Amino acid sequence: MDGLDIEQTAQVLRTRWPDIRQALLTGRYRPSPVRKVMIPKPDGSQRELGIPTVLDRLIQQALLQVLQPLIDPTFSEHSYGFRPGRRAHDAVKAARRYVQSGKRVVVDVDLSKFFDRVNHDILMNRLSKRIEDAGVLRLIRAYLNAGIMEGGVVVDRHLGTPQGGPLSPLLANVLLDEVDKALEARGHSFARYADDCNVYVGSMAEAPAEGDTAKAVEAFQNDLSGIEGIGSD
């Protein structure tokens, strides 16, 4: 972490932007490690955040503004989290429609550890199918490899996309879209908001068994049905 606030970063940009720009264009830019922050969740557990420096947040936001209009339209209509023009209320309305249609049994698909298990190589492979610019891919890889600052020590990470940066939700949705497409292929009615996903069925007899919906998630670990992304426990 560089320890700079917004005003200090603005001053750095006024004096060093040509060098930073050149480093970005030539692939020499190296993001700073993110700062690890733990925040409590309603169930008593904690969620890990990785807070980038102000400069890296600015660069990530610039990337997001270019990439999101290109990638977001390819996502499933059942995905509502961190997408332009979509919100949690839309997911609730979709759930209400399913229930009103008679699908009153809800199956929770456990994606709670997704962000900790994202495999960087698999994520980059998925991105390379959507992004042609090698420089952009190289910069995203640099962010994934930046590491995380914990207790004053930088820890390398080969799995996971720490939440907290502007780019993280888009990267997560790139992989989770494959879960969405697998559920769609199996004919399920569902709504997903980030790593919260519910499948709606008419009765327990119709509820997805371990060999069905569970397989769509398990495939992240075992490379089943061509879906990858989450490392094994």
pLDDT, one tens digit per residue, over 30-63 is 999 999 898 888 888 888 889 999 999 999 999 9
Residues 6+ apart with CB under 8 A from 195: 111, 112, 114, 115, 172, 176
List, run by run, the mean pLDDT of 10-residue segments along the chain (233 residues).
82 94 95 91 84 95 97 97 95 96 88 77 93 96 91 83 88 91 91 92 67 47 39 38
Residues 6+ apart with CB under 8 A from 40: 46, 47
Q: Contact 149/141 with Cβ under 8 angstroms?
A: no
Residues 6+ apart with CB under 8 A from 15: none
At residue 16, the pLDDT reads 94
At residue 221, the pLDDT reads 40
Q: Which of 153, 117, 141 is nearest to 33 (CA)?
A: 153
Residues 6+ apart with CB under 8 A from 30: 23, 142, 146
**Separation of CA 80 from chain center:** 13
At residue 119, the pLDDT reads 85
Determine the Cα–Cα distance for residues 82 and 97; give it in Å rounded to an integer.
21
What pTM, to 2 d.p., does this model score? Answer: 0.82
At residue 61, the pLDDT reads 97
Which two structure tokens, joined as six digits, stand for 59?
């660069």
pLDDT, one tens digit per residue, over 191-223 is 999 888 999 988 776 665 544 545 544 543 443
3-state SS, residue 13: helix
Q: Contact 216/186 with Cβ under 8 angstroms?
A: yes
At residue 231, the pLDDT reads 40
